[in-house]
Amino acid sequence: MPAISGDAVTVHYRGSLADGSEFDSSQGREPLLFTLGAGDVIPGFEAAVLGLEVGDKTTVVIPPEEAYGPRYEEAVQVVPIDAFGEGAPEVGAIITVIAEDDSRMSATVTAISEDLMDVTLDFNHPLAGEELTFEIELVGIVPPQE
């Protein structure tokens, strides 16, 4: 029985970048559980699972548009270091920024100026603009409850 929209599915997966480096894997963990059609995973990953049967394996290359979207340069902002109070963040840190409307956004600290006056924040998803390769194995299907 192939996996269809509305099914809860469990999958094992390995995600890698174009250079072959692994960015995520379910190896050594419980399989990933999600519902097809619910938008729980990126569109390209979901599309790769639709139609698989338990035990099927597939490898799919997902373009940025079906993953975390393109990378936007306007999502990179430079802010004064004193916006962080007394404790300047470290390069590589992921911080939460609270906007004027109280919404929360994650940003990665990508640089601190040499004069220690400014911090560069990248609000893009860390995998934005990347082509992603996933090796996927469908482990189980739980049909929707009537």
Kindly report, residue by residue over 68-91, the tens digit of the pLDDT: 999 999 999 999 999 888 878 999
pLDDT one-digit tens code per residue, 126-136: 999 999 999 99
Q: Are residues 131 and 117 in the same domain?
A: no
- According to DSSP, the residues that pair with 35 across neighbouring strands are 8
Instruction: Name, in order, each residue with C-beta under 8 angstroms of 24's C-beta and a sequence gap of 6 or more.
Output: 13, 14, 15
Instruction: Please give the full DSSP string across 60-73, using - where no structure is assigned.
Output: EEE-GGGTT----G
Find the angle CA(17)-CA(19)-CA(25) to the nearest 5 degrees: 35
CATH number, residue 82: 2.40.10.330
Q: Are residues 62 and 131 in the same domain?
A: yes
Q: Is the model's pLDDT at 140 over the cut of 70?
A: yes
**pLDDT at site 84:** 86
Q: Are residues 47 and 23 in the same domain?
A: yes
Q: Is residue 1 part of a domain?
A: no
Neighbour tally for 72: CB within 10 Å: 12
